[in-house]
Amino acid sequence: MQNIFAQRNRTGCKMHRLSSVRGITRMNILRFIYVSFFCVLIAGCGVSKPDGFALFDKNMASTKEQFDAAKVKQATLPLFSQNFTEIWSNSLPPEVTSLPLFAGDVRDLHCYRATTNSLIFACGGAFGEWGLIVSQSDDSSVTNSLSHAVATPWSHGIFFWREL
H-assigned helices in 41-82: 51-54, 56-66, 69-80
pLDDT of residue 155: 93
154, 62 contact by CB (below 8 A):
no
Q: Say yes or no to pLDDT of 44 above 50.
A: no
Task: Read off the DSSP letter of residue 45.
Answer: I
**Residue 156: in which H helix or E strand, if any?**
none
* Over residues 22-37, mean pLDDT: 68
Q: Say yes or no to pLDDT of 126 above 90.
A: no
* Over residues 25-31, mean pLDDT: 72
Domain ranges across the chain: 6-45, 51-163
- Reported pTM: 0.66
Mean pLDDT estimate for the chain:
78
H-assigned helices in 89-157: 94-97
For residue 17, count CB atoms less than 10 angstroms from its CB and return exposed for 0-12, middle for 13-18, buried for 19 or more: exposed
CA distances to 6, 10, 25, 33, 87 from 3, rounded to whole Å, are 5, 17, 22, 33, 73
More confident residue, 37 or 40: 37
**78-116 pLDDT, tens digit each:** 999 998 889 998 899 999 999 999 887 677 899 998 888
pLDDT of residue 131: 92
Residues 6+ apart with CB under 8 A from 149: 129, 161, 162, 163, 164
Rg (alpha carbons) of the chain, rounded to whole number? 28
